[in-house]
Amino acid sequence: MAKSETKRYYPTPALEKGLDILELFANTPAGLTVSEVARRLNRTVSEIFRMLLCLEQRGYLAQSANKDRYHLTLRLFRLAQEHPPTKRLVTEAMPIMHSLAHEIRQSCHLGVIDGGDVVILAQVDSPEATGFYVKVGRRVDLMHAATGHVILAHLTEDACARAVEEWSRETKNKKPADLDEHLAKIRARGYERRASYEISGVVNITFPVLNAQGTAVAGLTIPYVKRIEDPLSMTEIISALSKASQQMSEALGALPPLVNPEPPNPPKKPRSHKSQKPQVAKT
């Protein structure tokens, strides 16, 4: 084995143990006892107890009120929010999202792909008393999210394949048979509009947020709820969402859409001889 390969695969048992614990808690919202963690990771209680104490002191874990279970804190989420690309994306998106929600009287949220899930990075509520809202930090299965499909449809072929492969590895599910056809339709239309996978009566409308390379880094979604005497049509809402996603994309360096203006003086078709009248010279 080459020297570089030896370094690359050098075992780090303590780090691996800590990451195993964090990943286990991330998939167990109800929390776990020390013995449960030890049993699931096939470790001794004593070594797990030391790791849990360290993670608690660093703020990644916290104990329940009766001190019998540990659960994950929001420290990992805050770290992700501080990651420069994510922080910039949210910073650029929030003013546009507030303006959009005020204009269309609907809530909106911004999501990104993380492993086999879509994670909600930002959310703005509707100014109306009623509406549908998604919590920031929520994770949704990639194949059950309009946001995920729109992002996949606007990735390069290789990046899309890697994302689907990672989803398949995490969920142990096979790639949906109609996925490629579905993504092609989204690409051709430029956005997704479909009934929610989870809530009856909600229609998710999603546009991609593109970077300077023209690939999707996020999806901007309106979970549309039809109200009685709603002043805006679906066409107007889609138009407003398209404009907002384009503003975000341009803020991240994407080029504005090409416009093909008409020539200033379009040539006129010559009239046939039959329709031409004889010219009469003026005297």
CA–CA distance, 146 with 152 (Å, rounded to integer): 10
| Residue that wins the pLDDT comparison between 14 and 238 | 238
| Residue that wins the pLDDT comparison between 197 and 207 | 207
Measure Cα distances from 266 to 196, 258, 259, 263, 276 in Å: 47, 20, 17, 5, 21
Query: Mean of the per-residue pLDDT values for the chain?
Result: 85
Residue-wise pLDDT tens digits, 187-200: 999 999 999 988 88
| Residue that wins the pLDDT comparison between 265 and 88 | 88
| Residue that wins the pLDDT comparison between 219 and 277 | 219
Quote the pLDDT of residue 83. Answer: 64
CA–CA distance, 164 with 155 (Å, rounded to integer): 11
Residue 80 has pLDDT above 50, yes or no: yes
Q: Which of 25-29, 49-53, 147-151, 209-213 shows the lowest mean pLDDT across its residues?
A: 25-29
The reply to whether the predicted model has a pTM over 0.85 is: no
Quote the pLDDT of residue 2. Answer: 46
Quote the pLDDT of residue 133. Answer: 82
The answer to whether the beta carbons of residues 248 and 122 sit under 8 Å apart is no
Quote the pLDDT of residue 68. Answer: 86
Quote the pLDDT of residue 82. Answer: 63
CA–CA distance, 210 with 186 (Å, rounded to integer): 15
User: Mean pLDDT: which of 68-72, 237-241, 253-257 is highest?
Assistant: 237-241
Residue 179 has pLDDT above 50, yes or no: yes
Q: 58, 140, 119, 164: which is closest to 21 by C-alpha?
A: 58
What single-letter amino acid sits at 16?
A: E
- Other CB atoms within a 10 A radius of the CB of residue 10 amount to 7
The confidence band for 84, taking pLDDT boundaries of 50, 70 and 90, is low
Q: 118, 113, 69, 97: which is closest to 217 by C-alpha?
A: 113
CA–CA distance, 215 with 212 (Å, rounded to integer): 8
Quote the pLDDT of residue 76. Answer: 79
Residue 259 has pLDDT above 80, yes or no: no
CA–CA distance, 24 with 155 (Å, rounded to integer): 30
